[in-house]
Structure 1
Amino acid sequence: MKNSVRRTATAVLVAAALLTTSACAEDEAGANLELTAALPDSVPGGTVLRLGDPAGQAALQKSGLDAELADAGVEVEWANISGGPQSIQAFRADKLDCSAVADIPSLFAAWTGTATKIIFQSVTVDPLEFPIYQLGVAPGTSAAGLADLRGKKIAYSAGQAQGALVLRVLKEAGLTQKDVTLVELTSTGDSYITALGSGAVDVAPISAYQVKLYQAKYPGGTAFGTGIRDDASTVYCLTTSVEDAEKAAALKVYVAARTKAVLWQNEHPDEYAKAYYQDVQGLNEADAREVVRISGRRGIPATWDNAIKRLQETADLLATEQGHDRLDATTLVDRRFEKVQAEAAGAQVVTGDAA
């Protein structure tokens, strides 16, 4: 009888312990945030964001806007990571919450099984006047416009912005992949410039600010504009990070501060040139200022409608040309942050076609 009582008492204690554990688990589960729920307004102390945004870091710190993060209780672990391949690798290893990229990485993350959400958008105020890329042409190769691309060897990187630009260019020129030879390369500026200089490719998309460097290194090299918009700039995050209520609250603060930092860059180009292109990228003062000048002013779109439309067009093009499944671009964007950006930018939001 006593053993039975002991067993009963033990069972009650175990059950109570399980209930307590369950209650704690429910409390922890309460930290999860539905993607349709409003973003929290307060950040719990000790909330950490792991961000791969070197350019944003430089602007925030130089402008003093990083104080808004600290004042709100947001702790940031900055990572020297940018671009799609690095960020996706870090996401998969759960070493990063968000990263600053163009639009292509969010598509390839989805196609390779990594769920992400875009939480930040910025645009070039005059996107065709200040392109991100030009088409570099190898010395001795005759090409001065899109009509001259037929039969050329073109540097190509399937999973990055440069690769998507090449496909857009071919479409604009009325050409297909069969009309050219796509040469798969890792799309770093140096590798593309080296490929052009050595004659490994005839044409390659290179950053507009690298054109002078390319021509100085390889006399006879030329470049021309594409006439195609290529200014997409986003921050995308692991979906699990956005679904974490504490991190979502911190990201709300970060997006607002990052928005103000973009506007600060416009008003303080020389300071930004030094903070990022000199101190981080290692350019000399003249080159750093030139990069900022030819990059144009960046702005915050009043609405993400046009950006999402362009993302969908890119997704459809890549799905067709690269054999991917069709994606609904709206599933890759967290529009709760659209309002956060617009409110932070105020009257300086960009409207019209530029957005």
Structure 2
Amino acid sequence: MRKSIRRTVLLTAATSLLAVSCATGDGGGAALTGPLPTEVPPGVALTIAANTARVALTASGEIGKLPFTVSSWPAVGAGPDVIQAFRGGSVDLATNAGIPPIHAHATGFDAKIVAVKVRTKPLLKLATAPGTDIHSLADLRGKKIAFSPGQAQGIVVLRTLRAAGIRADEVELVDLTTPKFLTAQQAREIDVAPLTEPSLTKYLDKYGSEGATAVDTPAVDPLSVLWAPTAVLRDPGKTAAIVEFVKFWARGEVWAWEHPDEWIDAYYVEDQSVSVEDGRRILTTTEQPYFPASWDEAIAWEQETIDLVTGAGYFGDPFPAEALFDRRFEKIAFDAVPAAYRTKGA
């Protein structure tokens, strides 16, 4: 654990120094002000890392109605990979949980959240390696747990340990990004990995017969966000396109919820290669999407998360969560969906 913290702090310090010397490439971090543009000029293109949105818009037929060009849909999902793609200018807009924007800010990269979807139920479960004797949260003590501090999975681990009354120094947190979770688990290098669906189903289908299982956690990761580099948001044409994509993204979430059979076929079966039966079972565990009118509660949750990860020794000092949000976009998703999918808070 101590080595892990030292590595993260050193990386944070090095990246922050680089960020200071480069001024993050976004014009010095000045506030984004003024009204949002209302028309997308001709020739605008975005590179968007949002696979579920791509699938939903394709299956619903809405993708052809986008008033701009999507130059590509990169298969980039893990928060650290998205941040790297943002830094390299290869992605303009991405969807993630709430922690990657915190990670980006803490390492000196300026990006803003432009849309928020909320949930109230746990999204992840703790998948155990074959041969481990883990049946409850209390059994986590002394185990090797996959841990990515810059992703939702890392926050779920910290919240789970806190809920179970287990100190971080009573487990071994193994620094891994989510694409490496399954490989490490299959190699028996870790005992537990927090997984979402359909990765969990794929893992249990393969290793359940050998004793692998999943343990529920009470930890909720309540936010799904769209976010973009501040440098991109300084481009009026791209900002106008992002405004429109937020609407399509929100409506795509609604379409997926209201068309479960089509969604199972398009996403779970065709895109994720799980069976129709597994797709139906997974869908029963999901939650109707909601889009808040106010981001106050989302900001409060991000602040609590900032305090949690910095208090655990990651990402340097606390900072105001408000800095992560471009509140000009606050009601775009909310206004784009029917009343049944709107909520006053998070």
Q: Scaled by the length of structure 1, what TM-score is found?
A: 0.81
Separation in structure 2 between the aligned mates of residue 68 and residue 210 of structure 1, nearest angstrom: 31
Q: Which one has a bigger Cα radius of gyration?
A: 1
Aligned residue type for 1:339: K
What does the per-residue CA deviation read over 1:193-226, in whole Å, with 9 as the maximum and x for residues that have no partner?
4544543222221224444443342222222111
Match of 1:333 among 310, 325, 340: 325
Identify unmatched segments of 5+ residues in structure 1: 1-32
Asked whether 1:46 is paired with 2:40, we answer: no
Match of 1:62 among 59, 63, 68: 59
Aligned residue type for 2:45: V
How far has the Cα of 1:106 moved from its partner?
0.6
What does the per-residue CA deviation read over 1:15-42, in whole Å, with 9 as the maximum and x for residues that have no partner?
xxxxxxxxxxxxxxxxxx9622111111
Give the ranges of 4+ consecutive aligned residues of structure 1 lying more than 4 Å apart after TM superposition.
none
Match of 2:169 among 166, 178, 182: 178
Match of 1:290 among 274, 277, 281: 281
Asked whether 1:120 is paired with 2:112, we answer: no
> What is the correspondence of 1:124-135 to structure 2 with a 5 Å cutoff?
124=119, 127-128=120-121, 131-135=122-126
Separation in structure 1 between the aligned mates of residue 38 and residue 344 of structure 2, nearest angstrom: 30
Asked whether 1:192 is paired with 2:181, we answer: yes
Asked whether 1:344 is paired with 2:339, we answer: no
Separation in structure 2 between the aligned mates of residue 299 and residue 351 of structure 1, nearest angstrom: 6
Deviates more, 1:88-97 or 1:194-203: 194-203
How far has the Cα of 1:299 moved from its partner?
2.2
User: Which residue does the alignment assign to 2:7?
Assistant: none
Q: Scaled by the length of structure 2, what TM-score is found?
A: 0.83
What does the per-residue CA deviation read over 1:63-106, in whole Å, with 9 as the maximum and x for residues that have no partner?
12234423xxx222232222212211111111211111111111
Contact 1:157/1:187 (CA < 8 Å) preserved in 2?
Answer: yes
> What is the correspondence of 1:66-105 to structure 2 with a 5 Å cutoff?
66-70=63-67, 74-80=68-74, 81-105=76-100
> Pairwise CA RMSD of aligned residues?
2.2
Separation in structure 2 between the aligned mates of residue 196 and residue 83 of structure 1, nearest angstrom: 18
User: Which residue does the alignment assign to 2:4?
Assistant: none
> What is the correspondence of 1:19-34 to structure 2 with a 5 Å cutoff?
none
Separation in structure 2 between the aligned mates of residue 285 and residue 173 of structure 1, nearest angstrom: 35
How far has the Cα of 1:241 moved from its partner?
1.1
Q: Secondary structure at the match of 2:162?
A: helix
User: Which residue does the alignment assign to 2:153?
Assistant: 162
Separation in structure 2 between the aligned mates of residue 98 and residue 311 of structure 1, nearest angstrom: 20
Q: How many pairs were matched up?
A: 313
Contact 1:53/1:78 (CA < 8 Å) preserved in 2?
Answer: no
> What is the correspondence of 1:303-314 to structure 2 with a 5 Å cutoff?
303-314=294-305
Contact 1:83/1:100 (CA < 8 Å) preserved in 2?
Answer: no
Identify unmatched segments of 5+ residues in structure 2: 1-29
Aligned residue type for 1:62: A
Separation in structure 1 between the aligned mates of residue 288 and residue 92 of structure 2, nearest angstrom: 27
